[in-house]
Amino acid sequence: MYVVDLTGKTAIVFGVANHRSIAWAIAQILHQAGARLIIAYQNDRVRDTVEKLVEKWEGTILVECDVTEDSNVASVYSSIGQEIDTLDIIVHSIAYANKDDLGGAFLETGREGFRLALDISAYSLVPIVKYGAPLMGDDGGSVIAMTFQASTHVFPGYNVMGTAKAALENEVKQLASDLGLSNVRVNAISAGPLDTLSSRVISRYRDMKRVHAERSPMGRNITVNEVAKTALYLCSDLSSGVTGEIVHVDTGYNIMGL
């Protein structure tokens, strides 16, 4: 029988803002499996919330990291490098776009809004892996990122974030190719709609969620715990031969044509 035991492993999770964050569900399941957690939160605004979430987790490290500067990412890893032996798991669960760019016509997306969304939501995976992978030991490690089906299909309202997810998924494949011989695996989870701070600002989010439940083969929306369980699989030895993959956790919605 296979049991996922991450005792002795260390995971860094980027993107916990509150108890609804997908990153928080993933952090919890990794913690339950025995991993030591490092939580990289964006800024002061979320620090108290994040501190409260992890207050009972002994040995957890909290670090601030705004990913818009490479130097912030590099210094996170240099600070934790002194406290851990090796890093085994990296979770990227970060996205941002201006509210104005998450509604109306995609045609109206401005250059600065495009740059911002792509920078935070897609480019950030590159420094997060570039500076994090060297901390992974001889056994390698696992990196996961969070994506959405708007990378390949049009979801009106999701707009520039769809462009960012297309870039992110391409990065996952290129990074998987770069790091495969180091036994560092890079995958993404393409999740169905979930109520979080980020999804709330997408202008047609409610429609997306309703249609998803109506049309998916399983006839319902997903739960955040279903994403976390797939994350656990991707972060553990159970997925040792899987890299560069986009795994859908969407009750099958992506396979439907009608």
- Residues lying near ligand NAD in the complex (CB under 6 A) are found at 15-17, 20-23, 42, 46, 65-68, 93-96, 120, 146-148, 191, 193-194, 196-199
CA angle 41, 168, 6 (to 5 degrees): 55
- Shortest spacing between CB 61 and ligand NAD, in angstroms: 16
CA distance 183 to 137: 9
Q: What is the separation of C-alpha 95 from the centre of its chain, rounded to a whole number of angstroms?
A: 8
Q: Which is nearer to ligand NAD, 183 or 223 (CB)?
A: 223
Q: Which is nearer to ligand NAD, 214 or 237 (CB)?
A: 214
**Strand, helix or coil for residue 157:** coil
CA distances 99 to 4, 60, 158, 210, Å, are 39, 33, 10, 21
- Shortest spacing between CB 196 and ligand NAD, in angstroms: 3
Q: Which is nearer to ligand NAD, 22 or 160 (CB)?
A: 22
- Shortest spacing between CB 123 and ligand NAD, in angstroms: 11
- Active site residue: 41, 158, 205, 253, which one? 158
109 CB-near residues (< 8 Å, 6+ apart): 101, 159, 160
**Strand, helix or coil for residue 144:** strand
CA distance 20 to 17: 8
Q: Which is nearer to ligand NAD, 49 or 86 (CB)?
A: 49
- Active site residue: 9, 41, 77, 165, which one? 165
Of residues 209, 126, 120, the one with CA closest to residue 161? 120
Is 131 labeled as catalytic in the residue annotation?
no
Is 9 labeled as catalytic in the residue annotation?
no
- Shortest spacing between CB 131 and ligand NAD, in angstroms: 14
Can you give the length of the chain in residues?
258
CA distance 117 to 97: 5
Q: Which is nearer to ligand NAD, 179 or 194 (CB)?
A: 194
- Shortest spacing between CB 138 and ligand NAD, in angstroms: 30
Active-site residues: which are they? 158, 165
